[in-house]
Amino acid sequence: MSNTWVLVANSSQAKIYAGKGQRGPLTKIKDFDFLKGRLHEGDLVSDSAGSDGGSVGQGRHVLDDKTSAKEQEAIVFAKELTSYLDKKRNKEAFRRLVIIAPPTFLGLLRKNSNDEIISMVSQQIDKNFIDKSAEEIHQYL
């Protein structure tokens, strides 16, 4: 069992590295590629807002969601990642977790993690390190 896992993520990609102690190298154990996270807002939504049909009250009403389609896709990806981490936590694959992600996505990961995962987090870094090598990440830590 690896002592520590390092999750490096953004809204469209994630990598999980395993390390033993602070001196051991990081080894990549899993890649996630979420293609919808790379699409532009216009590619994710239709041309016009939806409608509720207006069956009650003053007629038809336009539905305007406060969460953009791009934000919604980031939420879906964050849930996918936290679900994977929870399954691996249940199998005792790691004891500690370091999360490195841009501030907004880091917040989504926090929000979608259960208490058990949160209790295993030893460090949270609000940076986009998705393009960094395992060696660069290890040196930063």
Whole-number pLDDT of residue 2: 59
pLDDT band, very low/low/confident/very high, at 72 (cuts 50, 70, 90): confident
Residue 57 lies in a domain: no
The closest alpha carbon to 25, from 111, 126, 138, belongs to 138
Which amino acid is residue 90, in one-letter code? N
Residue with tokens 């977790």: 97
The CATH number of whichever domain residue 15 belongs to comes to 3.30.420.60
Range of the domain at 84: 4-40+66-140
Residue 45 lies in a domain: no
Neighbours of 116 (CB within 10 A): 11
Whole-number pLDDT of residue 92: 93
Whole-number pLDDT of residue 97: 95
Total number of domains constituting the chain: 1
Whole-number pLDDT of residue 14: 96
Mean pLDDT for the chain?
82
Residue 123 lies in a domain: yes
Residue 118 lies in a domain: yes
pLDDT digits (tens, 9 = 90+) for 11-34: 999 999 998 766 778 999 999 997
pLDDT digits (tens, 9 = 90+) for 1-16: 458 999 999 999 999 9
Measure the CA–CA gap between 39 and 86, rounded to whole angstroms: 27
Residue 48 lies in a domain: no
Residue 110 lies in a domain: yes
Residue 53 lies in a domain: no
